[in-house]
């Protein structure tokens, strides 16, 4: 799956985009976030508070329960501030 990070999530994690192969236990956004947090202190810190960021799966808004098959584009970002 392809994972994108925007705004302060990108800055804190230090990468804007990465392609990963998640382990079998990753079946939804919640388990993906839990797995990502174990990848290092930058991930742990950036993804610590699930209230602080939003998620999109294949460019549609999702939530912690959105199911993942493994070939999605998943994006993590703060609440939007355009306009």
The footprint of another protein (CB under 8 A) covers 4, 6-8, 56, 59, 75, 77-83
Strands of 2-5's sheet in order across: 17-19, 2-5, 73-77, 54-57, 60-62
Q: How far is the CB of 38 from another protein (least distance, A)?
A: 25
Q: In terms of CB distance, is 37 or 54 closer to another protein? A: 54
- Residue for token digits 């392609």? 19
Please, which residue, 41 or 79, has the CB nearer to another protein?
Answer: 79
Report whether 31 contacts 25 (CB < 8 A).
Answer: yes
> What is the smallest separation between the CB atom of 74 and another protein, expressed in angstroms?
11
């Amino acid at each position: 799956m392809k994972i994108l990070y925007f705004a302060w999530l990108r800055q804190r994690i230090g990468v804007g985009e990465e392609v990963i192969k998640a382990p079998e236990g990753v079946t939804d956004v919640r388990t993906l976030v839990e797995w990502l947090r174990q990848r290092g202190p930058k991930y742990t810190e950036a993804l610590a508070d699930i209230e602080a960021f939003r998620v999109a799966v294949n460019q549609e808004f999702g939530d912690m329960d959105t199911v993942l098959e493994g070939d999605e584009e998943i994006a993590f970002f703060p609440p939007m501030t355009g306009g």
